Amino acid sequence: MPINVTRSSMPSMEEYMEEIRPIFESRFLTNMGPVYKKFQHQLIDYLGTQYISLFVNGHMALEMAIQALGLQVPGGEVITTPFTFVSTTHAITRNGLTPVFCDIKPDDYTMDPEKIEALITDRTVAIIPVHVYGNICDVEAIDAIAKKHGLKVIYDAAHAFGETYKGVGIGNFGDASMFSFHATKVFHSIEGGAIAFNDAQYRVRLHELKNFGIHGKEDVLAVGANAKLDEFRAAMGICNLRHIDEYIQSREEVVTHYRERLGGVKGIRLCQPQEDVKSNYAYFPVYFAEKEFGKSRDLVYEDLQKQEIFARKYFYPAVNEMTCYKGLYPQNTPVAHDVSTHILTLPLYEGLSREDVDRICDVILYA
Ligand SMILES: *Cc1c(COP(=O)(O)O)cnc(C)c1O
């Protein structure tokens, strides 16, 4: 049986049917209906932020957070990381802003706060860091730098659903955080996303931006777009939220077994559990140091593929090396380059068996 890098968690079909029954009865399918509102309130409880605005996907949520925070200043620059899914950078450039790539830390691959201040200019408007793989950024350092320079911070928390730092929900840091509910994420609503925030002034703006900028019944205040989460997806979110703790626990068991098998192996570098962080076990990235391990990342990838095990070169290439961005912006991100050329994320999903993890590790270690 092939093993894919991920597999969507699902409630039972009966449970989903039960949740969508009222939608069939009311014929109210979208436009922030009762299921949307129920999902929204459950998420506020779970994530522990004052406000949640739901979107059709995480990418549109991030684009609209940039707009709601008023960051679309002509010539504006946003400090961000090249070691992420391309959506983060696209959200900046599609808003007419210039990404300024900051290098990452070699241990947890998040933005290196010590390299931020050198990149700040009088055109800088914001910092958009990423809790990459669910590794939490140094939120205290980043938020302090932003405060000192009067910058906004939006965290790309697409990988960090349900995580806490010092007991505080991760959506409480910076000015706003984006969560993705894509089918491949720890928690999903098929497609979907959210902005979590604590400042009431963004509430109406986010709500209107996702609905064409329509204000009330007879006016349009902003040039918005359509990014509404529909009722059927909200229903899937409600079902998955009921089981999220089981999903995360199952992932933890998989990660624990991977660590037992791969921890301490010469030439293999794993991310260490972070202090004060409740993890969601979103990904299992492994750094292969070719010389010490004896095999390159690409060779391991191919060995796995031959056995129908599909790991992922995530994130490769680094965003600033992709054709659409290469050479466009000044950059000095050697760590991101190094990590992106040595890293593999291994299959990890709720329900991945111990036997499969052993099979994967055997191929890595002995093929
Ligand atoms: C998945 C992801 C996104 C985009 O989320 P979608 O819901 O797929 O639009 C953005 N940033 C990161 C880091 C992601 O992994």
DSSP string over 170-208 = GGGSSSEEEEE--TTSSS--SS-EEEEES-THHHHHHHH
Atom of ligand 1 nearest to the CA of 57: 7
Last residue of a domain, one of 213, 239, 265: 239
Domains in the chain, number: 2
pLDDT at 268: 98
pLDDT at 77: 98
**CA atoms of 365 and 367, how far apart (whole Å):** 6
Amino acid at 17: M
Prior bond of 55 cis (ω within 30°): no
Q: Which residues contact 89 (CB under 8 A, 6 or more apart)?
A: 80, 82, 99, 319, 325
20 shares a domain with 120: yes
Last residue of a domain, one of 239, 254, 280: 239
331 shares a domain with 281: yes
Pocket flag, ligand 1, residue 337 (CB < 6 Å): no
Polymer length in residues for the chain: 367
Between the alpha carbon of residue 22 and those of residues 14, 29, 34, 143, 240, the distances in Å are 14, 10, 9, 43, 18
Pocket flag, ligand 1, residue 157 (CB < 6 Å): no
Residues 170-191: pLDDT tens digits? 999 999 999 999 999 999 999 9
Q: Are strands 124-128 and 98-101 parallel, antiparallel or unpaired?
A: unpaired
The CATH number of the domain holding residue 330 is 3.90.1150.10
pLDDT at 261: 98
The CATH number of the domain holding residue 190 is 3.40.640.10
Pocket flag, ligand 1, residue 180 (CB < 6 Å): yes
Amino acid at 255: V
Domain housing 286: 244-366
pLDDT at 330: 75
Residuewise pLDDT in 10s, the chain (367 residues) = 899 999 999 999 999 999 999 999 999 999 999 999 999 999 999 999 999 999 999 999 999 999 999 999 999 999 999 999 999 999 999 999 999 999 999 999 999 999 999 999 999 999 999 999 999 999 999 999 999 999 999 999 999 999 999 999 999 999 999 999 999 999 999 999 999 999 999 999 999 999 999 999 999 999 999 999 999 999 999 999 999 999 999 999 999 999 999 999 999 999 999 999 999 999 999 999 999 999 999 999 999 999 999 999 999 999 999 999 999 987 899 999 999 999 999 999 999 999 999 999 999 999 9
To test the pocket of ligand 1, the residue of 8, 178, 180, 184 to mutate (highest count of ligand atoms within 8 Å of its CB) is 180
Give SS3 for 155. Answer: strand
pLDDT at 363: 98
Give SS3 for 221. Answer: coil
User: What angle (nearest 5°) sits at the alpha carbon of residue 166, between those of residues 164 and 170?
Assistant: 30
b/e per residue 15-53 (b: at least 16 CB within 10 A): ebeebbeebeeeeeebebbebbebbbebbbebbbbebbb
